[in-house]
Amino acid sequence: MHLTLKFLGQTAEDIIEPLGEAVSGAVAPYPALTLKLGRTGVFPHRRRPRVTWVGLDGDLVELAFLQRAVEEQAAGFGFAAEKRSFSPHLTLGRIRSGKNKDALLTALDRLEPEPLVLVAREIILYKSDLKPSGAVYTPLKRLPLKENPMEEES
Protein backbone atom coordinates (compact mmCIF):
# COMPACT_ATOMS: atom_id res chain seq x y z
CA MET A 1 0.00 0.00 0.00
CA HIS A 2 1.26 3.47 -0.79
CA LEU A 3 0.27 7.12 -0.79
CA THR A 4 0.72 8.64 -4.24
CA LEU A 5 2.21 12.14 -4.19
CA LYS A 6 2.60 12.39 -7.97
CA PHE A 7 1.72 9.94 -10.72
CA LEU A 8 4.18 10.31 -13.58
CA GLY A 9 2.90 7.79 -16.11
CA GLN A 10 5.22 6.67 -18.89
CA THR A 11 8.66 8.07 -18.04
CA ALA A 12 11.91 7.79 -19.97
CA GLU A 13 14.53 5.92 -17.95
CA ASP A 14 17.15 8.65 -18.42
CA ILE A 15 14.93 11.09 -16.48
CA ILE A 16 14.62 8.91 -13.36
CA GLU A 17 18.00 9.76 -11.81
CA PRO A 18 17.92 13.56 -12.33
CA LEU A 19 14.26 13.73 -11.32
CA GLY A 20 15.01 11.72 -8.18
CA GLU A 21 17.90 14.06 -7.32
CA ALA A 22 15.73 17.15 -7.82
CA VAL A 23 12.91 15.77 -5.69
CA SER A 24 15.39 14.57 -3.05
CA GLY A 25 16.82 18.06 -2.69
CA ALA A 26 13.37 19.61 -2.48
CA VAL A 27 12.01 17.23 0.18
CA ALA A 28 15.17 16.81 2.30
CA PRO A 29 14.19 19.65 4.70
CA TYR A 30 10.79 18.09 5.41
CA PRO A 31 10.48 16.01 8.59
CA ALA A 32 8.96 12.55 8.80
CA LEU A 33 5.17 12.78 8.92
CA THR A 34 2.79 11.11 11.33
CA LEU A 35 -0.39 9.96 9.61
CA LYS A 36 -3.42 8.05 10.86
CA LEU A 37 -6.14 6.11 9.10
CA GLY A 38 -9.32 8.14 8.63
CA ARG A 39 -12.69 7.60 6.99
CA THR A 40 -13.35 5.38 3.99
CA GLY A 41 -14.79 6.33 0.63
CA VAL A 42 -14.85 5.74 -3.10
CA PHE A 43 -13.66 7.47 -6.26
CA PRO A 44 -14.93 9.01 -8.45
CA HIS A 45 -18.36 9.06 -6.71
CA ARG A 46 -20.90 6.80 -5.01
CA ARG A 47 -23.11 6.49 -8.11
CA ARG A 48 -20.33 4.77 -10.01
CA PRO A 49 -17.53 3.71 -7.65
CA ARG A 50 -14.28 2.53 -9.23
CA VAL A 51 -11.83 2.70 -6.31
CA THR A 52 -12.27 2.12 -2.57
CA TRP A 53 -9.97 4.04 -0.26
CA VAL A 54 -9.23 4.98 3.33
CA GLY A 55 -8.40 8.61 3.97
CA LEU A 56 -5.62 9.92 6.17
CA ASP A 57 -5.50 12.26 9.15
CA GLY A 58 -2.52 13.67 11.02
CA ASP A 59 0.19 15.92 9.57
CA LEU A 60 -1.94 16.81 6.54
CA VAL A 61 -0.81 20.43 6.22
CA GLU A 62 2.83 19.31 6.11
CA LEU A 63 1.90 16.49 3.73
CA ALA A 64 0.25 19.00 1.37
CA PHE A 65 3.43 21.14 1.35
CA LEU A 66 5.52 18.02 0.68
CA GLN A 67 3.24 16.97 -2.18
CA ARG A 68 3.43 20.47 -3.65
CA ALA A 69 7.25 20.34 -3.56
CA VAL A 70 7.18 17.03 -5.46
CA GLU A 71 4.67 18.45 -7.96
CA GLU A 72 6.88 21.51 -8.60
CA GLN A 73 10.00 19.42 -9.20
CA ALA A 74 8.12 17.14 -11.60
CA ALA A 75 6.87 20.21 -13.51
CA GLY A 76 10.51 21.20 -14.06
CA PHE A 77 10.93 17.95 -16.00
CA GLY A 78 7.89 18.57 -18.18
CA PHE A 79 5.26 16.60 -16.23
CA ALA A 80 1.83 18.23 -16.34
CA ALA A 81 0.41 19.51 -13.08
CA GLU A 82 -2.37 17.46 -11.57
CA LYS A 83 -5.72 19.14 -12.21
CA ARG A 84 -7.48 17.52 -9.25
CA SER A 85 -6.75 18.72 -5.74
CA PHE A 86 -4.52 16.48 -3.62
CA SER A 87 -6.61 13.98 -1.65
CA PRO A 88 -4.37 11.92 0.67
CA HIS A 89 -5.61 8.34 0.75
CA LEU A 90 -4.56 4.72 0.61
CA THR A 91 -6.25 2.68 -2.11
CA LEU A 92 -7.97 -0.41 -0.72
CA GLY A 93 -9.10 -1.88 -4.01
CA ARG A 94 -10.45 -1.37 -7.50
CA ILE A 95 -14.05 -2.11 -8.42
CA ARG A 96 -14.53 -3.89 -11.72
CA SER A 97 -18.32 -3.95 -11.93
CA GLY A 98 -21.39 -2.41 -10.34
CA LYS A 99 -22.52 -5.78 -9.02
CA ASN A 100 -23.32 -5.60 -5.28
CA LYS A 101 -22.51 -1.87 -5.29
CA ASP A 102 -25.03 -1.05 -2.55
CA ALA A 103 -23.72 -3.78 -0.25
CA LEU A 104 -20.15 -2.57 -0.80
CA LEU A 105 -21.07 1.05 -0.03
CA THR A 106 -22.95 0.00 3.11
CA ALA A 107 -19.97 -2.06 4.28
CA LEU A 108 -17.59 0.86 3.63
CA ASP A 109 -19.88 3.23 5.56
CA ARG A 110 -19.81 0.87 8.54
CA LEU A 111 -16.08 0.24 8.40
CA GLU A 112 -14.15 1.81 11.25
CA PRO A 113 -10.42 1.48 10.55
CA GLU A 114 -8.17 0.51 13.43
CA PRO A 115 -6.44 3.50 15.08
CA LEU A 116 -3.27 2.77 13.14
CA VAL A 117 -0.51 5.39 13.16
CA LEU A 118 1.89 5.48 10.20
CA VAL A 119 5.16 7.39 10.10
CA ALA A 120 6.28 8.39 6.59
CA ARG A 121 10.09 8.61 6.71
CA GLU A 122 10.82 8.53 2.99
CA ILE A 123 9.46 9.04 -0.47
CA ILE A 124 9.92 6.17 -2.87
CA LEU A 125 9.96 6.58 -6.63
CA TYR A 126 8.22 3.45 -7.92
CA LYS A 127 7.95 1.79 -11.28
CA SER A 128 4.60 0.08 -11.73
CA ASP A 129 3.92 -2.73 -14.14
CA LEU A 130 0.28 -3.59 -14.74
CA LYS A 131 -0.32 -7.33 -14.80
CA PRO A 132 -3.60 -9.27 -15.10
CA SER A 133 -3.27 -10.06 -11.38
CA GLY A 134 -2.75 -6.38 -10.46
CA ALA A 135 0.03 -3.82 -10.38
CA VAL A 136 3.56 -4.84 -9.44
CA TYR A 137 5.55 -2.03 -7.81
CA THR A 138 9.35 -1.89 -7.99
CA PRO A 139 11.18 0.76 -5.95
CA LEU A 140 13.64 2.73 -8.11
CA LYS A 141 14.85 5.41 -5.70
CA ARG A 142 14.39 6.11 -1.98
CA LEU A 143 14.37 9.73 -0.85
CA PRO A 144 14.63 10.13 2.93
CA LEU A 145 12.85 12.83 4.85
CA LYS A 146 14.56 14.61 7.74
CA GLU A 147 14.50 12.68 10.99
CA ASN A 148 12.02 14.05 13.49
CA PRO A 149 13.95 14.91 16.71
CA MET A 150 10.91 13.94 18.82
CA GLU A 151 11.00 10.41 17.35
CA GLU A 152 14.72 9.98 18.02
CA GLU A 153 14.08 10.37 21.75
CA SER A 154 11.40 7.66 21.76
> Closest Cα partner for 73 from 32, 136, 154, 16?
16
pLDDT above 50 for 154: no
Query: Helices 13-27 & 60-75, crossing angle to 10 degrees?
Result: 140
CA torsion 115→133→52→55, rounded to 10°?
40
Does 154 fall in a domain?
no
CATH of residue 141:
3.90.1140.10
pLDDT above 70 for 83: yes
Question: Which residue type does 6 have?
Answer: K
Does 1 fall in a domain?
no
Does 47 fall in a domain?
yes
Q: Which residues of 91-109 are buried (b: 16+ CB within 10 A; e: fewer)?
A: ebeebeeeeeeeebbeebe
SS (H, E, C) the chain: CCCCCCCCCCCCHHHHHHHHHHHHHHHCCCECEEEEEEEEEEECCCCCCCEEEEEEEECHHHHHHHHHHHHHHHHCCCCCCCCCCCCCEEEEEECCCCCCHHHHHHHHHHCCCCCCEEEECEEEEEEEEEECCEEEEEEEEEEECECCHHHHHC
Does 30 fall in a domain?
yes
CB atoms within 10 A of CB 11: 15
Does 6 fall in a domain?
no
pLDDT above 90 for 112: no
Provide the pLDDT confidence category of residue 150 given band limits of 50, 70 and 90: low
pLDDT above 60 for 152: no
Q: Which of 36-40, 76-80, 97-101, 120-124 has the lowest mean pLDDT?
A: 97-101
Question: Which residue type does 18 have?
Answer: P
Does 2 fall in a domain?
no
pTM of the entire structure?
0.85
> Closest Cα partner for 28 from 126, 125, 122?
122
Does 102 fall in a domain?
yes
Give the structural domain span for 93: 13-145
Does 107 fall in a domain?
yes
Total number of domains constituting the chain: 1
